[in-house]
Amino acid sequence: MNIFVLMKRTFDTEEKIVIQNGKVNEEGAEFIINPYDEYAIEEAIQVRDQHGGEVTVVTIGNEDAEKELRTALAMGADKAVLINIEDDVEHRDQYTTAKVLAEYLKDKEADLILAGNVAIDGGSGQVGPRVAELLGIPYVTTITKLEIDGTNVKVVRDVEGDEEVIETSLPLLVTAQQGLNEPRYPSLPGIMKAKKKPLEELELDDLDLEEDDVEAKTKTIEIFLPPKKEAGKILQGDIADQVKELVSLLHTEAKVI
């Protein structure tokens, strides 16, 4: 089976966010594989181990993303592809990302494509379904279970806490939700092996795309931090009195009850 994983390197949101010159300052910050993409990588490896084939992890980014790609290879992926469009495309959004990924994937005859359902930095949750649409294949988002039998696929999907059981077929794109699996940590032998696994680097030219083909459809005009919250009121006194005061404050001051 020919399996692809769409991965994003993300800013670890446990980091403190500092805005400098209208941008989030990334200097010195910790970067990670987007947590939802880790589920996708793990599932891809499990599907390959069960059905055979090859797992290729693809990311769009600059050379810094090599670190996260190597981590995916150390987990057990077979190949990695880094599409570096940083120098070629000034204005990028999810339209850009999906278009570039679909252009890369269109002649790869992928049976199964996996991605995270959302990235924890931008939080747009668009790229998976967009890529499926551009490739003309079906998709199922926020999956928590995947069973493949020949070309038939049964998927369980999380729908705001309820579960949908879905039948579909390969080729297919799915996006991973928490609960799909427990991503493994790279083993030491895995890390050693990963160093020798192929990591291909591509640019826009290699995909027969021009900057105009992938130019963003949206633009960020401002980034700002939420207003600092004033310190809350810690109530004092007897618990019963505190409860009375709280209810009264919610009623008269906060006016939410």
> Within positions 25 to 44, which residues make up the interface with another protein, using CB under 8 A?
35-36
> Within positions 165 to 184, which residues make up the interface with another protein, using CB under 8 A?
165-169, 178-179
Among 132, 143, 148, 204, binds another protein (CB under 8 A): 132
Amino acid identity of residue 245, one-letter, is E
Among 108, 121, 184, 186, binds another protein (CB under 8 A): 121
Cα–Cα distance, 18 to 27 (Å, whole number): 10
Bridge pairing between strands 2-7 and 112-116: parallel
127 sits near another protein (criterion: CB under 8 A): yes
How many residues form the binding site for another protein (CB under 8 A)? 77
Nearer to another protein, 38 or 82 (CB): 38
8 sits near another protein (criterion: CB under 8 A): no
CB of 206 to another protein, least distance (A): 22
CB of 23 to another protein, least distance (A): 10
Residue position matching structure tokens 């670890």: 12
> Within positions 136 to 165, which residues make up the interface with another protein, using CB under 8 A?
138-142, 154, 158-165
DSSP for residue 170: S
> Within positions 183 to 202, which residues make up the interface with another protein, using CB under 8 A?
none
Of the candidate spans 7-15, 67-75, 184-192, 196-204, the one that interacts with another protein by CB under 8 A turns out to be 7-15
CA dihedral 15, 20, 26, 27 (to 10 degrees): -100
Q: How many CB atoms within 10 Å of residue 161?
A: 5
Residues 205-224, one symbol each (x = binds another protein by CB under 8 A, - = not), give: ----------xxxxxxxxxx
Largest Cα–Cα separation, the chain: 72
133 sits near another protein (criterion: CB under 8 A): yes
Burial of 108 per CB tally in 10 Å (0-12, 13-18, 19+):
middle
Bridge partners for 158 per DSSP: 163
Cα–Cα distance, 155 to 3 (Å, whole number): 16
